[in-house]
Structure 1
């Protein structure tokens, strides 16, 4: 059934209702939304949407815009959340929270009373930048742009100050037909026609089964459901593993929520700041459809089918466990999940996390904490992650040890007063270091001969989550399965306490609307987690080599921090691994690459290619060989790196014959990642002072990586060698700019949007589950 929602009917609180035509020429669903998805959504999505104008769905468009900032590193106290669908439900409620309509007319003056959206579109359409030219540097773009959010009545001043500030901003704009469609739709009342959400019979049956299972009344089931919810609340859950493969873009995703209403009634989301805050009254776990268009930067997929339910039922029954009293939602329960969920055997909790380790790491990266340097400047630009073997990991296999260390595993950030920042942080830092002392002693007693290869989880030779790679892209990051790129400077080994604490600190307990104190505590504790993961890796190195490797990771002034803030490095306990070279780190990682070739992806034909066999005639073989000439080279050898951005998508167009060999895709997609090197990542400020530019390198991946491309490069298959040769020979900024003109896709390229969205379409063909609209807020001035 189709029905119309008139914003003038729903927004009668506006001082002057906008003029609404009785005749609607264009359909929002069929005519308007496709334009918004193509030309607007790449900037206007998620918490970093300019002026909080979110366009994933009509709800965000009706909500409108606000001058309030979500990401604010200088906020002295927590601010009231403004989460779409959660903190208000109707336009009138959003008006009370400071949002103003972009669809309504204001005042009586015909020119000045146009809807703000129309005025923005008019400015962009009537004042375009020159086609094919680079965007002038005086137009502020990118991550650090300060958004101007003119309220009704302020647009003329905005247009005078920013003559090229119309929408879409500084990019190839609307076609004549698109502009006419949107303008007509706005003039005629901006009605929104919606189809009622359709849930297939198959999905609904499984939803009913899940909701019944999650809402069982016995205490054991209630605790388990709470644990699962706190780990899945950000996920995009899909219920059928083979769902709608013919139309992957139509695949439905669902969200697990807490609702004040039970199954069979309309869901009412519990609007707590965090998922582990007290709901104040009875609630129910529910599954609801994800509204709107999927955007890549928040798309965290998780299989939630019948097999998953059976896995839960089997896993959490492997060990008999019971409890007499449910934990509450007080401060102690929220800040220490190891005490809150102590009744659930830790071995089972760890196996639950390992089953889908990439999903949980991706929550760190695509959740609200991901934007900017709240968390990203605490990590290296490329590092490998592995996990302790659950059969040998000490915490999950020793109940007495668990009980002794649990009190020291609490997490900071719940108390956000700036006045208490210092004392709070010192307390948690001391607890963490005391825990490490207990841990070091316990591991020395349990493994007197030291760490062995058996203590690394091999994924039972089948689980592709066993070995992960994290890439940092300055102010965002990505995680992929397998060990990608050159052998990195650092590597992490995470056991259950490290993995669980990282998840709770960066996902469950993180409040994107929190104060500077909360954000600083989050960042500082993550610094300790990184250090703990790195020193856990060093346990596998020869005792005499650890300090030398450690010093390479923490150079210069960071050496002082290792003595003051971190737990002392264990340089005495031996390693049980026999080494045969003078480079134990490389030897250890290469041993694992060889031991688990399928899971690690040990045959990297681009970044670790030494006398690689490229005999296949597939088009990507020649591409890989060409790219191997520039991959993993330091900037001291490849000068062009110093001018490249963090993430460059590469489109290699195929001829008809090559396309047949590539599953009928018209092009192949690669990503060129710039890995920046720093003397350390131990400090909150002064990152540029620790930058080692000559050590920057490239990782080249045969798939799109990252949610925020900074540049698109395009060529034909026959031009790859020329592309690489020119890049290798660049020796100046001027030569680099000429190279960009030759291969780069500028914002004002008339085909920009077609090329930009072609990477999403590529993912829909090659990896449809992970496809979503990419973000262009960080695209350069090219």
Structure 2
């Protein structure tokens, strides 16, 4: 079918397209025909999915339609996702009584018929039906036509009727429901709530559908890459008992990773999977809900190329190659241990890593996690779960993380400690959502109380003089590993982790030991099922409360003993009556001193300063943007333009004021330097919400302290879910700061956004999004991925 006949066949779509058009195009060319069919005729050539269609989908569609939070589970990040289509079934359901079957693309079903059996409906006809009359009814095109017919006023706020909340009710209209949907929600077309597609982008999609919506052949991997894959599959499938246990341990810690080879940081990327087929044969992934579910009697670990577009919110990068292989050989096979049995797959054993992997030396396991601590913390807060206020409101908006040195960790130094306490370290995933939340709460609170008592007694034996910890008890990254110090930012319903201590001195800080690190991972990642029932989800959250408190208490244990309780109480205003606070997770070692000498009145800030001062190679350069004692603080390696801009932005950092409340959670500020855009700068403006405490699952608004909110300014791009873009000429950075700090009302915000903001309806919206994507690719090719713009605000 050629483009003219395709356009003629599009019926309602063609009429809508001809009569519609965005306001800007109508002004440039008032003849309706010039906006419609002639533009489609200009693309009268074969369209290739990979080279023509994928760029349009990635830049305009995947920004909302990727991961579990894609509306109607419509994943437009691959040909298989487009062909799978959409469904009315929800992934996120906090009231779900019975767990639902998972619907992971590429995993839980394969092919159109299999997905139709799982209640997915088409948005385009499959290639086999190309050319049939139904091609003209492609739901994808009809949604795009609806958006084209009802453009928004340029640069204006969207009407309030255009819902943007991630929890909004979705219609998920099928083909035969589209006309009713269009009548009821005329502003509900695609791309939803944004500036329209360009005519050439729309014409590309129309041509692709008309030509049969074919996919593109997957290019063969080059021989040198194939050789590396073969080497890793050979390593993971070595037959010794020690190797089989180690490979299972690695798989359970890598199953979320997007792996790349050390000599190819920009990809291609791979997943490690369990396959029914041996190396040398096509991979046949075994689909299980959790990575420690029983895969059956015979399987192999395989590396499977990632076929979908790389999206930032699930792009948890992990490198493999000769250096990694040598490190694993040293950690797991150059040490003295002998396995006598394979761990089982019962829920009780498999969900408890201290039982399943008790034969592997604890030092090997802990050091393996420390080596890439940012990766593991990232898995807690980023990945295919993709969203959840209740999931991340268990932590403060901004806190620092450090780790207990392996030589000082009793669980590592004393091989008998974990053997004695592993039954107390069980996790709620073992129950598979069968118990009531109250039963789970009491059972695991008792376990935590008994475990912490045992831990305290063991440390008392090692420290009979009650001298307490020294500074060298905190891991220093062996003088070179920058994973040793991390900062976590919670951005309402998502979070970000970065290396180093970034931002002002936060309210809270954590120190994590091996039992905490492993339990954090198995509670929030390996054992968590986003498709699980409400009991499973609540129990996961309640258990995380214990882990947060215990991590905070380890940090407090380094402070002067007479200061610990008062500082802790200031972190839990209104929650000190909780059983978890005063019983299960009470401060232990209160009679232990600290070997660290404190001289000032703020021991928390003093301890953080001492940690940072130990090893500049690990700490990195000082955060002059946010911790500038006497402004301006100028980076020695900054350009003159950067120095001028950052001197102004320092006036926003860590400053409290009424203006902070008007800022979104994460804003990206593009500073224009020249007309080409090649030298433009980017800064992240992070709104840190203050709370009385984060000890409750619900009622967050009642615990907010907006007058204490602050802003952290970071160089470069930040987060996975930008909530707004601002733009300013570098010479006007001071004006930007002055006007932002003067915002005190909705009218002030309106004037500020009109001058510096880029709204969803702004013709620059897509251009800015594209520029940011290319800038991220240029600066961080390995970590770059497509941002999620679904949470972009309507300021």
Report if TM-score (shorter chain) is over 0.5: yes
Choose 372-381 or 560-569, whichever is displaced more. Answer: 560-569
> 1:233 aligned to 2:255?
yes
- CA change 1:457–1:744 in 2 (3 A) is same
Query: Residues of 2 paired with 1:44 and 1:424: CA distance?
Result: 36
Counterpart in 2 of 1:542?
A: 560
Deviation at 1:335, TM superposition (A): 2.1
Q: Any residues of structure 2 matched to 1:742-761 within 5 Å, and which? A: 742-761=755-774
> 1:653 aligned to 2:672?
yes
> 1:685 aligned to 2:698?
yes
1:32-71 per-residue CA deviation (whole Å, 9 max, x = no partner) reads 2211111101000011111001011101001110001111
Q: Assess if the C-alpha contact under 8 Å between 1:77 and 1:515 holds in 2.
A: yes
> 1:555 aligned to 2:573?
yes
Query: Residues of 2 paired with 1:109 and 1:341: CA distance?
Result: 57
Query: Residues of 1 paired with 2:494 and 2:658: CA distance?
Result: 24
> 1:268 aligned to 2:284?
yes
Query: Residues of 2 paired with 1:148 and 1:779: CA distance?
Result: 21
Counterpart in 2 of 1:578?
A: 597
**Unpaired runs of 5+ in structure 2?**
1-43
TM-score for both structures, normalised by structure 2: 0.91
Deviation at 1:369, TM superposition (A): 4.0
Deviation at 1:198, TM superposition (A): 2.4
Q: Assess if the C-alpha contact under 8 Å between 2:124 and 2:140 holds in 1.
A: yes
Deviation at 1:478, TM superposition (A): 0.1
Query: Residues of 2 paired with 1:310 and 1:112: CA distance?
Result: 54
Q: Assess if the C-alpha contact under 8 Å between 2:291 and 2:526 holds in 1.
A: yes
Query: Residues of 1 paired with 2:233 and 2:301: CA distance?
Result: 6
Counterpart in 2 of 1:462?
A: 480
> 1:189 aligned to 2:212?
yes
> 1:495 aligned to 2:517?
no
Counterpart in 1 of 2:70?
A: 49
Over aligned residues, Cα RMSD in angstroms? 2.0
Query: Residues of 2 paired with 1:386 and 1:490: CA distance?
Result: 12
Q: Assess if the C-alpha contact under 8 Å between 2:691 and 2:703 holds in 1.
A: yes
> 1:511 aligned to 2:511?
no
Deviation at 1:78, TM superposition (A): 0.4
Deviation at 1:701, TM superposition (A): 0.2
The secondary structure found in structure 2 opposite 1:471 is strand
Counterpart in 2 of 1:20?
A: none
Counterpart in 1 of 2:321?
A: 305
Query: Residues of 2 paired with 1:234 and 1:724: CA distance?
Result: 40
Deviation at 1:185, TM superposition (A): 2.2
1:146-201 per-residue CA deviation (whole Å, 9 max, x = no partner) reads 22200220011111111010000010111122222212322332222x12332122
Q: Assess if the C-alpha contact under 8 Å between 2:260 and 2:319 holds in 1.
A: yes
> 1:320 aligned to 2:336?
yes
Deviation at 1:716, TM superposition (A): 1.3
Query: Residues of 2 paired with 1:458 and 1:645: CA distance?
Result: 35
- CA change 1:645–1:308 in 2 (3 A) is same
**Unpaired runs of 5+ in structure 1?**
1-22
1:302-321 per-residue CA deviation (whole Å, 9 max, x = no partner) reads 11011101111112134210
Q: Assess if the C-alpha contact under 8 Å between 2:67 and 2:386 holds in 1.
A: no
Q: Assess if the C-alpha contact under 8 Å between 1:364 and 1:370 holds in 2.
A: no
The secondary structure found in structure 2 opposite 1:153 is helix
Q: Number of paired residues? A: 744
Query: Residues of 1 paired with 2:584 and 2:101: CA distance?
Result: 35
Out of 196, 203, 223, the position equivalent to 2:245 is 223
Query: Residues of 2 paired with 1:196 and 1:562: CA distance?
Result: 53
Deviation at 1:602, TM superposition (A): 5.3
The secondary structure found in structure 2 opposite 1:576 is coil
Q: Any residues of structure 2 matched to 1:145-160 within 5 Å, and which? A: 145-160=168-183
Query: Residues of 1 paired with 2:642 and 2:357: CA distance?
Result: 49
1:324-377 per-residue CA deviation (whole Å, 9 max, x = no partner) reads 111110122222110110100000100000000000111111123451124210
Out of 334, 348, 354, the position equivalent to 1:338 is 354
- CA change 1:316–1:695 in 2 (3 A) is same
Choose 180-189 or 37-46, whichever is displaced more. Answer: 180-189
Query: Residues of 2 paired with 1:631 and 1:219: CA distance?
Result: 54
Q: Any residues of structure 2 matched to 1:566-645 within 5 Å, and which? A: 566-570=584-588, 571-601=590-620, 603-611=622-630, 613-614=633-634, 617-634=639-656, 638-645=657-664
Q: Any residues of structure 2 matched to 1:169-184 within 5 Å, and which? A: 169-184=192-207
Choose 609-618 or 541-550, whichever is displaced more. Answer: 609-618
Query: Residues of 1 paired with 2:335 and 2:133: CA distance?
Result: 72
> 1:72 aligned to 2:88?
no
